[in-house]
Structure formats: C-alpha cells, structure tokens
Structure 1
Amino acid sequence: MRTFDTEDVNVIVGGIALTGFAEGSFVKAERNEDNFTEYVGAKGEVAVSESNDRTGEITVTLESTSPSVIYLTDLANRKGVNAIVPVQIVDLNQNAIQVGGSECRVRKPATYEADKEISEREFVFFVADLQFK
C-alpha cells in the first residue's frame, strides 16, 4: 500500500522553506514548451525537432495568512539580480522527486482579495532552467 503525505512536500525559495500553503493543489510546475516538435511529411515520413527551451513556471498557492506571503511579495517587488532566486520543490513521497531551477523570478505580486473567510494568494515564478529530477 502506498501513501501520500503533503507534509513531505516542501517548496524552498532562496533557501527559505515556504509555509502556510492553501488547501488543495498548492504547487505546480510545468515547462513552457514541449521537448520536441514533430513534422509529418506528405508521404507520412516523420521527423522530430528537439527543443532546447528549458524555461517554465512554478505556481505556489498560499493562504492569505501565510507568513511566506510577505517574503514572496518582497521578491516580486525586487528588480535586477536581487530578484533572482533558486526554487526547489522536494517531494519525499515519490522517491525524492525534485523539481526546480537556479534562476527564478516572481512574475508579479499576488492578487489581493479580502473575504469573510481566509482567501488565497497565488505566486507564479518564471524559471529559466526548469529541471525535473
């Protein structure tokens, strides 16, 4: 029997482990392009063009009350080399899967929303060198 525990999924941004994740899907990573593009000729011959684009995005969703919101908002407001940080997702549930990159930047501050209940804040990182290990 296999089990999954969200406590064993950690997101580390600039050496700091984020806390206060939102309910449901709280982290997602994906490449911006496919690894290859196929070409099929008139007679069915197939060729494949490899993509060297390793850029991608990591999306993190936090509770509005998370102490990490302040940290990520600060990162989003930075400019230049001070805005670039490494981001790693470490999932110890599945053979220690690691996803991330060494050159990441928060696209913009999270949308602000107030409600009678705790709302969520979504931060999207552009990743220049997204790797899945």
Structure 2
Amino acid sequence: MTTHTYDPARVNVTVAAATLSGFAEDSFISIEEIGDGVTSTSGADGEVARAMSSDRRCKVTIKLQQTSAGNDVLSSLLQADRLSGGGGIFPIAVTDLRGRTLFTSSEAWVVKLPPSEFGKEVGEREWEIQTGKSIYFVGGNS
C-alpha cells in the first residue's frame, strides 16, 4: 500500500510571465473543458453513433485573496487586452508539482473584471480566464 500526498502549496499557476500567489482558502482553481467532448446519439433501430469534438478550449477559474498581487497582474492583462483591441493574449500553465495533473495553453485571456466586495474580513476575487486550444491531463498524486 502506498501513501499519496497532495500539497496545495505545490500547485503552480503561471499567467504570462508571472507566477500567481495569494490564493483563496479552500478551492482556489478550477479547470473545465468548454467543448462537448464525446457526444452520442441512438437511431430508431438502436444503432449508436458518436461525435468527437475537436474543441479544446478551457475555462479556468482562479480565486485570489483580495490582498493578492495576482489581482494586479490579471487586471493589467485585461486592460492591455482591451487597450490593444484584442492583442493581449497570454500563455497560462497550471502544474501540480506533487502530482501528474497538467494544464497549459499558449492562448489565454481574462474575460472580465471580477465583482469586488469589501467587509470586515479579507475577501476573495474570482477571475475567469478562457483559452484557445489547450493541453489538459488530469492525473493522480505521488
């Protein structure tokens, strides 16, 4: 029997040339495919046909503490994209250094600014990033 270890401090998120830090407590990143993957249909006689989507876009949601310098990075990337008329596309990578999950795309962009709330405790900022064609592999941990 082998013991496997996950360490959230060993999950690296890199956007453009910046490595993000100051993640929110609990779930701080989620990655999901936008495309349909494999769909199927059944004819009247029960014959099944499949269609494989070639859509490799992904949606990446990153939750940062409101105090994180990563908010400045993501705001700047969005502003550069808006000011350049769409020329602000950047690379993104998410790597679990204690595991085998890997995500990367050479074409990513911030969708919009997150809502901002202010209270008596440190809040969170939830950023949505979408990508062009991506490489995404979900693996276990060492």
Q: Aligning the two structures, in what range does the TM-score lie when normalised by the shorter sequence? A: over 0.9
Shift of 1:130: 2.2
Q: Which ranges of structure 1 fall in alignment gaps of 5 or more residues?
A: none
Once the two structures are superposed, the pairs formed by residues 63-82 of structure 1 within 5 Å of their partners are 63-78=65-80, 79=82, 80-82=85-87
- Asked if structure 1 preserves the Cα contact closer than 8 Å seen for 2:36 and 2:53, the reply is yes
* Structure 1 residue 116 corresponds to structure 2 residue 131: no
- CA deviations on 1:40-72 (whole Å, 9 max, x unpaired) are 011110011111111121110000000111111
- The corresponding residue for 1:9 is 11
Pairing 1:89–2:89 present: no
- SS of structure 2 residue aligned to 1:83: coil
Using the size of structure 2 for normalisation, the TM-score is 0.87
What is the TM-score with the length of structure 1 in the denominator?
A: 0.93
Give, in angstroms, the shift of residue 94 of structure 1.
1.5
Question: Take 2:104 and 2:32, find their aligned partners in 1: how far apart are those partners?
Answer: 10
SS in 1 for 2:76: helix
Specify the SS of the correspondent of 1:74.
Answer: helix
Which deviates the most, 8-17 or 75-84?
A: 75-84
- Count how many residue pairs are aligned between Structure 1 and Structure 2: 132
Identity of aligned residues (%): 35
Point out the more displaced range, 76-85 or 27-36.
76-85
- Which residue of structure 1 lines up, in the alignment, with residue 42 of structure 2? 40
Amino acid at match of 2:37: N
The one-letter code of the counterpart of 1:93 is R
Q: Give secondary structure in 1 for the equivalent of 2:112.
A: coil
Distance 2:79 2:115 in 1: 13
Contact 2:18/2:73 (<8 A) preserved: no
- The answer to whether the Cα contact below 8 Å between 2:62 and 2:126 also exists between their aligned partners in 1 is yes
Question: Mind listing any 5+ residue stretches in structure 2 that lack a counterpart?
Answer: 138-142
Q: Is the contact made by 2:89 and 2:108 (CA closer than 8 Å) also made in structure 1?
A: yes
Q: CA RMSD in A?
A: 1.2
